Amino acid sequence: MTKILQIKSSIFSAGGQSGQLTDTFVKNLVAKNANSEVIVRDFAKNGVPHLDEARFMSFMTKPEERSAEQKAVVAYSDALIKELKEADVIVLGLPMYNLGVPSNLKAYFDHIARAGETFNYTESGPAGLVTGKKAYVVATRGGNYQGTPYDTQTDYIKVFLGFIGITDVEFVYAEGLNMGEEPKTTALESARSQLEKKAA
């Protein structure tokens, strides 16, 4: 059984280009491996609360001292982490908003980055605990930013995933989507072709 975790961070859900590309990619992955289970985490339909003082203190409070509200906060985070740890493959749809990652994705990261759960601090630095995973990141952008200082996403995603132990990460880019119909069509066709090959 191959477990696939599909993360949709677009505010448009399946209506966004990243959602459409990852939907097709996941369908192709399942077609190549019939013994698969897909879990979809769609932030447009079920948003992740942003980290605030109360939620942060829920994580920091000793388990036996947590209030009922704090226990609920931690249980929610635990469920996200369990979902991630049980996945063999992670497919992340990553649109670019104002030169950064969607805020709901950052909120998700804030809930899954917990010492003792997804990483440990050691004498030589942090060590990720979420290992043995394959991650595909489908990055969609209105402009052409790959390889320029405007691409704040790629290194951030690589560093964060590596921080929790996910180091086998592949990116597929669809850029220039707001630069006219021809560049948009070319970029989407290229992304679909790359994803089809990776699914095979």
The model carries a pTM of: 0.96
Give the residue extent of every domain in the chain: 2-199
| pLDDT at residue 100 tops 90 | yes
pLDDT of residue 25: 98
pLDDT of residue 33: 85
Taking each helix axis from N to C end, the angle separating 68-86 and 103-112, rounded to the nearest 10 degrees, works out to: 100
pLDDT of residue 135: 98
For the residues 192-196, what does the mean pLDDT come to? 98
pLDDT of residue 14: 86
| pLDDT at residue 127 tops 90 | yes
Second-level CATH architecture of 2-199: 3-Layer(aba) Sandwich (3.40)
- Which residue type does 82 have? K
pLDDT tens, position by position, 36-57: 999 999 999 999 999 999 999 9
Q: What are phi and psi of 73, to 5 degrees?
A: -60, -45
pLDDT averaged over every residue in the chain: 97
pLDDT of residue 150: 97
Percent of the chain with pLDDT over 90: 96
Tokens linked to 143:
């402009």
